[in-house]
Amino acid sequence: MNHYKEPQIIKRGRFHTLRWEEIPEATIFKLTVRSIARGISLAPATLSEQRRTEYILRAVVFLGAGQRGDGDNFWKVIADSLTFAGVIHSDAAIKDWHLYKRRDRENPRTVITILRCRKETE
């Protein structure tokens, strides 16, 4: 996925509004992550515990034949998908990100590993 969201111009009379909409592939990815992760949650139940929780996220994106991708877009859709699925409570709580982009022509996939940890005292 090279673009996560695309601009859409909405015309209302003399006025135009620019809004960014998720591309269909991103929506499908988010729904797939939610389906696979059903029942899996590292997110704390209480707000006070959420404030003390951080995550370390590792993702390996294996691109198939002819696929291209941009690392920063991979991050955004992966983090949003994990939040959407309820696996983590917020992508802002990810303190360490590790992204690896590889090629596997016959078996494209994304492997995500998440570690929940307690925030270090400030």
DSSP structural state of residue 92: G
pTM of the full predicted structure? 0.77
Neighbours of 33 (CB within 10 A): 21
Residues 79 and 91 sit within 8 Å (Cβ to Cβ): yes
Domain 23-118 homologous superfamily, CATH: Holliday junction resolvase RusA (3.30.1330.70)
Tell me the pLDDT tens digit for each residue of 82-107.
999 999 999 999 999 999 999 999 99
What residue segments make up the domains of the chain, in order of their start?
23-118
Average pLDDT on 21-47 reads: 89
